Structure 1
Amino acid sequence: MSDLPDLAVVYEHPQWFEPLFAALERHGVSYVKVPLAGHGFDPAGSPAPARVVFSRVAMSSFLRDPEHPIFYAQSLFEHWRGQGTRVVNAAALAIDTSKARQLSLIARLGFKGPQTRAAHRQADLPKAAEGLRFPVLVKVDVGGSGSGIVRYDTAAELAEATRAGTAPMGVNGIALIQEYAPRQGGGITRVETLNGKYLYALEVESPGDAFDLCPADACLIRPGSAVLGMTRVEPPAGIIAAVEAIVAAGEVEVGSVEYLIDERDGSVQFYDINALSNFVAKPMDVLGFDPHDNLVDWLVGVINEEKAKAA
């Protein structure tokens, strides 16, 4: 164990984590990069590659590769955790991989989310939408980068899509039918957390009905990405407390919660839990600090705790 690096960063996207790697190098952390492409393991062996493993698995990976690593990573991390390795954010994959689980968790905690129904067959979508106000959104259960979201303005449009088999169902065969909530001011708020505590919040504004609201550098340069407006904001104390309760219940050690204000009635609706935070483009300009430094400082504390246990 003493010869191992202190940290392994396990990831799928080859460019997204350059700011994290730069911060690790600035802080002098001994780390190794572990891309999931080409990775394999022996269920009766294959020890972890570092004292601490940090999961950076993106739910949007299925967009880039049909042989995505989302479910593979869950098995890999459980393997390493079973051997006693600390895998940061591994438990969060259970909530990150299902929007249905996210909304169920939000409701159990007593917070409001959009009116939603879940189904696992195309033919069942129109019936599931009964009682919901149109327009509705049909969303895939495992999503990312705004993918797999289609708006249907009428029940007839939804019925026609299901007859044609074109409504989104997603990689795990589950779809959500959700009331479309018009966003007050045209934006949403993304609240970032670290170790279960509030770190900062961004108001993200987009033109029209864009659903890809990722504010990080690598997201904004993608072809066809929406032009986003990003402003640091300070949510009310009650919303911060709600976000912290949500990430604690979801075992999200590093991640964000998104909410909107429904312009129809002014209600706060929490609608997304994200266990992969790339933070924000140009953080010094937008935030006045680089959250990667906060993240690395915390990771160093986790590494030191594991070293103390092994001593």
Structure 2
Amino acid sequence: MKKIYIIHENQEWTTHLTNRLTELDLPFEEWHLDEGLVPLTETPPEGVFYNRMSASSHTRDHRYAPELTGAVLSWLEHHGRKVLNGSRALQLELSKVNQYTALEKQGIQTPKTIAAVGKANIIEAAKRLGSNSFITKHNRAGKGLGVQLFHSTASLEEYLYGPSFEEPVDGITLIQDYIESPQSYITRCEFVGGKFLYAVQVDTSEGFELCPADACQIGDLFCPVGEEVEEKPKFRIIQNFEDPIVEKYESFLQENNIQVAGIEFIRNANGRIFTYDVNTNTNYNADAERAAGKFGMLELAKLLGEELNK
């Protein structure tokens, strides 16, 4: 019997999708790839495979889950299985360097960035960047890993050689021009089936990156989960959002064979858009969706059902 296979390493982020699949009476099976084997001498089962492996898996003690997933996707694609968010999507999920080069190739502007390995080279990168304010972040990131704001190389050096420095899992630290939004928010565009679903405005007054999942800890920041009522919600879906960037994003996703993604951008004081993150295991905020009457996981479940019926 053909079914939908969900490839992941975090049950908490997958429950919302499996609930929707159950609601639509669609057959599915989860492949939790924190460890396992890849039977290259065997043929994969029939069905539709959806990859939502996360770049931050190592923070949940699943250090080699992305590498295992890469092997599984290669096996599936070799046998011609239908894979949503396949090998190319995983490659971009695991490297912001790969994201930025792919975005720039499609004419999508990213913040000025230098990648560095080694503390002395991180300091040199900051000097080369020549910005008054800059941030550090991990190349293989997610959850705001390694994101720090600096206004001088002296403060960066103090951080690098102090107790709070976070070593990136792949060794690559990014030094990036700090783009400040006058309104202190970023915009995240969600895509399902490679097509625009909605845009959500995310309040960043309390930090640089906020995961839209219903339960997601980033340092001391906690995403709203519905029990708390806020006067100003951190996540708000923008009704009737229109911007030429959407068409560019759809072309980018098509070019890189990505079916499901959340793409984040920020506008500077002049209104110019800088795109800085492509998330291929996108999560959705329940409060924002409930208020807008739009549901990402439901649309994703419908897409998987359509692919299965094909």
> 2:4 touches 2:49 (CA, 8 Å); kept in 1?
yes
Shift of 1:284: 4.6
TM-score by length of 2: 0.88
| Percent of paired sites with the same residue | 25
- CA change 1:66–1:284 in 2 (3 A) is closer
Shift of 1:160: 3.7
- Unmatched runs of 5 consecutive residues or more in structure 1: 306-311
Rounded Cα–Cα distance in structure 1 between residues aligned with 2:166 and 2:104: 24
Partner of 1:39: 36
Partner of 1:309: none
Regions of 4+ moved over 6 Å = 220-223
Residue pairs, 1:219-258, within 5 angstroms = 219=216, 224-225=221-222, 229-233=234-238, 234-258=240-264
Query: What letter corresponds to residue 87 of structure 1 in structure 2?
Result: V
Deviations 1:11-45 (A, max 9, x none): 11121111111110111111112212342223333
Query: What letter corresponds to residue 219 of structure 1 in structure 2?
Result: C
Partner of 1:280: 285
Q: 1:298 aligns with which of 270, 295, 303?
A: 303
Residue pairs, 1:1-311, within 5 angstroms = 3=1, 5-45=2-42, 47-65=43-61, 67-90=63-86, 91-129=88-126, 130-163=128-161, 167-208=165-206, 210-219=207-216, 224-225=221-222, 229-233=234-238, 234-263=240-269, 265-282=270-287, 284-305=289-310
Shift of 1:144: 0.5
- Give the 3-state SS of the residue equivalent to 1:241 in structure 2: helix
Rounded Cα–Cα distance in structure 2 between residues aligned with 1:299 and 1:239: 26
- Give the 3-state SS of the residue equivalent to 2:44 in structure 1: coil
Higher mean alpha-carbon deviation, 142-151 vs 152-161, is at 152-161
> Aligned pair count?
299
- CA change 1:246–1:237 in 2 (3 A) is same
Shift of 1:122: 2.1
Rounded Cα–Cα distance in structure 2 between residues aligned with 1:87 and 1:98: 20
Higher mean alpha-carbon deviation, 88-97 vs 62-71, is at 62-71
Question: What RMSD, in angstroms, separates the aligned Cα atoms of the two structures?
Answer: 2.3
> 2:181 touches 2:266 (CA, 8 Å); kept in 1?
yes
Higher mean alpha-carbon deviation, 157-166 vs 193-202, is at 157-166
> 1:194 touches 1:254 (CA, 8 Å); kept in 2?
yes
Rounded Cα–Cα distance in structure 2 between residues aligned with 1:185 and 1:238: 21
Shift of 1:121: 2.4
Rounded Cα–Cα distance in structure 2 between residues aligned with 1:294 and 1:177: 36
Higher mean alpha-carbon deviation, 54-63 vs 128-137, is at 128-137
Rounded Cα–Cα distance in structure 1 between residues aligned with 2:60 and 2:70: 18
Rounded Cα–Cα distance in structure 1 between residues aligned with 2:129 and 2:221: 35
- CA change 1:27–1:226 in 2 (3 A) is closer
Higher mean alpha-carbon deviation, 282-291 vs 188-197, is at 282-291
TM-score by length of 1: 0.88
Partner of 2:227: none
Rounded Cα–Cα distance in structure 2 between residues aligned with 1:223 and 1:40: 37
- Give the 3-state SS of the residue equivalent to 1:134 in structure 2: coil
Partner of 1:308: none
- Unmatched runs of 5 consecutive residues or more in structure 2: 225-232
Deviations 1:161-193 (A, max 9, x none): 445696544111211100111123111000000
Query: What letter corresponds to residue 244 of structure 1 in structure 2?
Result: E
Shift of 1:226: 5.1
> 2:113 touches 2:174 (CA, 8 Å); kept in 1?
yes
> 2:211 touches 2:223 (CA, 8 Å); kept in 1?
no
Query: What letter corresponds to residue 177 of structure 1 in structure 2?
Result: I
Shift of 1:159: 3.1
Shift of 1:271: 0.7
- CA change 1:261–1:32 in 2 (3 A) is same
Rounded Cα–Cα distance in structure 2 between residues aligned with 1:272 and 1:152: 20
- CA change 1:163–1:220 in 2 (3 A) is closer
